[in-house]
Chains A and B, each alone.
Chain A
C-alpha cells in the first residue's frame, strides 16, 4: 500500500444514485485525505446534496461503493455513519428554540449522561476550538452564527473524523464566516477532515486545499484550489458548452416599458433573503436575463414581481407608467402581464386539477372564461386543447390531471397558457428547469417569439447557458443585491460566474 492510499480517509467509487429516470449522481469518484479541507462545488441541482447524503447514510447508493479507512462500508443510516465517525452539519438547523444549548446537545447524545459532565465537555470543546457559547442560554436568544456553533459542537462531541458541512456560510455574516473558517482550520490541524459544500468560489480558494466539482451529477474534476483561479473554477462549474448565439432575434421597437426603482424587501425569516434597492429597466422587445445561484433572492424577487408578496412602499414597480407595486396578482394580469413561476406543480398549477381547470387558474379574469362568476368550462376546455395543440404538449388522455404529465410537458402547457394570452410583459423564473433538451428548445423559441412581438421579457435563471442564449441585457443577483445591467456583448461567461459567486469585477 502506498503512502497516498494510507492517507485516504474516505473514498467513493462510481457512486451512482437514480431517482426514477433521473440520474442524480453518475459514477462519482471522490476521495478525501485525513485532515484535509475539501470543497464540493457545483451549481444548484448538480448533485452535491445527493452525494453527501449517501456518504452520511441518508440515501442508499444504487451503484458503487463507499470506502472508509480502506474498508468497504454499507451504511444503514445516519447513526451508523456517526458511529463510524462521520458527522454532518446541515444547512437548516435542527434545534429546539425553547431549550438551552445544553439541553439541545444532550438530546443528541446516546447512553447515560450527566448534564454536569456534558456541560464540562461542551466547555472544553468550545475552549479548544474557539467556539464561544454559553451552554445555558436558550437557543431563541442565539444568532444564526451561534446556532451553527451549537450544531458544530454537537458534532464534535462525537469525535468525528470527517465533518460534512452543507453550505455553512450561506446564512452567515462576513464576520461570522471568518470566525467559522478559523474553527475549521483548527479542526483540520487536529486531523479532522472537512467536506465543505459551497458554491461560493472565493471561499473555496481561501479555505480549502482541494475541490471536487460536480456538474449534472458527474464529477468533472478534482483540482488543487491553489492552482486555480475563481474564474477557472466557475468555468468548470458551469461547463464549457459552446453557446448557440445564432439565436439572434429581430430588434423591435415598442412602447412597453418596465421600471423597477429601488425595490427593497426585508427578510421575513433567517432563511429568506432581503432584497436591497433593486433597480431594473426594460423596453419592449428586450429579454432581460437575471442570473444568480439559487437562494440569492430570486424567490423573493419573483414573489414581489408576481404580487404574491406586496411590499409596503409605493412607486417601486412601474409597467407602462402604471404603478403596480400595490396590485394583487390578478390585477397585474389585467395589465397584460404573465408569470411563469419556478415550481410547476403546486404553484403554477394545481396537481390534482385537470388542464382546463389549470388554464382557468390564471385566466378567470377573462370575461370569456367566467361570466357572472360562473365558470365557462367549455371555453376553458377549448382553450386548453388549443394550447396542447399549439405548444405540442404530449398528454396521456383527454383533459388529464396536471400531475399525470411529465415535467417538460407540463412546463410547455404552463408556458403556452401564459404566452397564449399575448402578454405585454412576461416574467419567467427557471422556465426550462429540469426540462429535456427538446422541450427546452421549444420553450425558448416561444419566449423569443413573444419578445419579437414587442413584449418585455424577464428571465430569472440559474442556467448561465440559457441566460446568454436568450438575453439582451444581463444582471446578476447575489445576496439580494442586483448588479447593474450589462449588454450581453459586453460581459463574458466567466465574469457573470464571478458575479454569481459574489466577487466584483474591478474593471467594469
Chain B
C-alpha cells in the first residue's frame, strides 16, 4: 500500500525551492533522453530553454504565447476550485472570437475608440453564454459538465468554420475561408515603449492578461463571492451551512471562466490575426487546464505557470526546427517537465508512506 499523508507544516523555503529542484531534475532527465537518442544533450537543452528567450523579441513572443494561457487559466481556476470541471474553454474561446468578430465585421469602416471595448465586452458575453449552456444543464438536469462543455467545443469549432466559409466570408478572399480584415480600430496594438520602440510582437493584450489575472485573484481571495467559491470546493456541506447555494456557485464560476476564455479568443484574433479564420487557437483552451493546475489553482501563479508552459511549447518548436528532433520527443520532454513540477508540488505537501505489509491494520 502506498499512501499520501499531508505534511503538518509545509516549509516556506522548500515551497520556493521545489520547482527549481523539479526543473533541475527535468534537465537531468533531458540529458539522458536526448543523449540516448543520439542528440547532443547540451545543445538540445540550449535550444529548448535558452534559444527561445535569447533575444528581447523572443521574450516578447513568449509573453504573447503565454497571454491567452494566463487569461484562460485564471478563469478556469474558479471552476476547479469549486469542483466544477469545465473542459470546454477552447469552445468558449472560439465563441468569444466569434462574438467580437461579429461586432468588428459590422463596423469595418469604424475608427471609433469604442470599437475595441465593445468587441471585448462582446467576446466576454460570447464565452460566458457558451459556458452557461453546460452550467444550466448541470444545475437543472444534473448533466455532466465535463462532457457537455467538451462536446460544445466541437460544436463551436464547426460553427466558426461554417461562418468563415459561409455567411461571413470575405468576397475578396479568392475563396479562402477568411473574413474581411478588421478595421484598425478593432485591432490590439503593439506596445510602443518610449526610447525603446516596439519589442517584437509584444502587444497590449499581454497587459490585459496581467490585469485579468490580478483582478481574478482579488475576487477569488479577497471577496465574498470568491470565498463562497472556495468554500464550495473545499466543503460543500459547509457552503450550504453558510448559505451559499451550490447551483449559484456553479453558474458563477462557469460564467467567469467562460467570459475569460472568450476574452482570450478576442485578444488572440485582434492582436495576432486581424480577421476570423477556421483555426484561431492552438489548443489554448486545453493547454490552459495544465496551466491552471501548475499554478496550484491560484490566478496570480497562472502568470509564471503560463510562461513556463509557453516556454515548453516554444522550446519544443525550437528543437524541432534547429535539431530536427521529432515532435514526439519534444512532447515527452514537455510532459516530463510538467510531471516533475506537479510531483514536486505534491511531495512538498505530502509524505509518501510505502507499506509493503499487506496485512496492515489501516482501514
Q: Which residues of A contact B (CB under 8 A)?
A: 58-60, 76, 306-308, 328-331, 333, 339, 341, 343, 346-353, 357, 360-362, 364-365, 370, 373-375, 377, 404
Contacts and interface: CB of A to CB of B under 8 A. Distances in A.
B243 A328 contact: yes
A331 B245 CA distance: 12
Contact of A362 (B242, B245, B359): B242
Given A346-B235, A350-B234, A364 B224 contact: yes
Q: Which 9 A-B pairs have the closest CB atoms?
A: A330-B243, A60-B361, A329-B243, A347-B237, A350-B235, A373-B224, A346-B235, A350-B234, A308-B240
B53 interface: no
Interface in B205-244: 222-225, 227, 230-231, 234-235, 237-238, 240-243
A346 B240 contact: no
Contact of B231 (A76, A333, A350): A350
Contact of A347 (B222, B227, B238, B245): B238
A352 B10 CA distance: 13
Contacts of A361: 231, 238, 241-242
B241 A347 contact: yes
B8 interface: yes
Nearest to A306: B241
B243 A373 contact: no
Nearest to A53: B363
Given A59-B361, A76-B359, A357 B242 contact: no
A401 B196 CA distance: 49
13 contacts: A59-B363, A76-B359, A333-B243, A343-B237, A347-B237, A348-B238, A350-B231, A352-B234, A353-B231, A362-B242, A364-B224, A373-B223, A374-B224
A374 B231 contact: no
B235 to A, nearest CB: 5
B197 to A, nearest CB: 40
A328 B245 contact: yes
A343 B353 CA distance: 29
A348 B225 contact: no
Binding site secondary structure of chain A: loop
Interface of B: 8, 222-225, 227, 230-231, 234-235, 237-238, 240-243, 245, 359, 361, 363
Nearest to B243: A330
A306 B242 CA distance: 10
B16 to A, nearest CB: 20
A58 B222 CA distance: 46
Given A59-B363, A351-B235, A404-B8, A339 B241 contact: yes
B227 A349 contact: no
Contact of B238 (A330, A350, A364): A350
Contacts of B363: 58-59
Contact of A331 (B225, B234, B243): B243
A375 B224 contact: yes
A300 to B, nearest CB: 14
B227 A341 contact: no
Given A347-B237, A350-B234, A329 B242 contact: yes
Given A351-B234, A351-B235, A329 B241 contact: yes
Nearest to B223: A373
A113 B315 CA distance: 60
A329 B240 contact: yes
Contacts of B240: 308, 329
A330 B242 contact: yes
A347 B237 CA distance: 5
B235 A347 contact: yes
B167 to A, nearest CB: 42
A346 B237 contact: yes
A364 B222 contact: no
A349 B363 CA distance: 25
Contacts of A328: 243, 245
Nearest to A360: B227
Given A59-B361, A352-B234, A375 B241 contact: no
Nearest to B245: A328
A117 B8 CA distance: 56
A375 B227 contact: yes
A285 to B, nearest CB: 27
| Most chain B Cβ neighbours within 10 Å, of A308, A331, A349 | A308
Contacts of A306: 241
B273 to A, nearest CB: 37
Contact of A357 (B227, B241, B243): B227
Contacts of B8: 404
B222 A374 contact: yes
A348 B224 contact: no
B224 A341 contact: no
A206 to B, nearest CB: 34
A359 B361 CA distance: 37
A290 B234 CA distance: 31
Contacts of A348: 238, 241
Contacts of B227: 357, 360, 364, 375
Given A328-B245, A329-B243, A346 B238 contact: yes
Nearest to A371: B224
A357 to B, nearest CB: 7
A314 to B, nearest CB: 19
Nearest to A61: B361
| Most chain B Cβ neighbours within 10 Å, of A346, A361, A373 | A361
Contacts of A373: 223-225
A33 B245 CA distance: 54
A339 B242 CA distance: 10
A350 B242 CA distance: 11
A388 B77 CA distance: 33
| Most chain A Cβ neighbours within 10 Å, of B8, B234, B237 | B237
A348 B223 CA distance: 21
A350 B233 CA distance: 10
Contact of A375 (B222, B237, B243): B222
B355 to A, nearest CB: 14
A328 B224 CA distance: 17
A174 to B, nearest CB: 33
Contacts of A374: 222-224
A343 B240 CA distance: 13
Given A59-B361, A364-B227, 13 more contacts: A306-B241, A341-B241, A347-B237, A347-B241, A350-B234, A350-B235, A353-B230, A353-B231, A357-B227, A365-B243, A373-B225, A374-B224, A375-B222
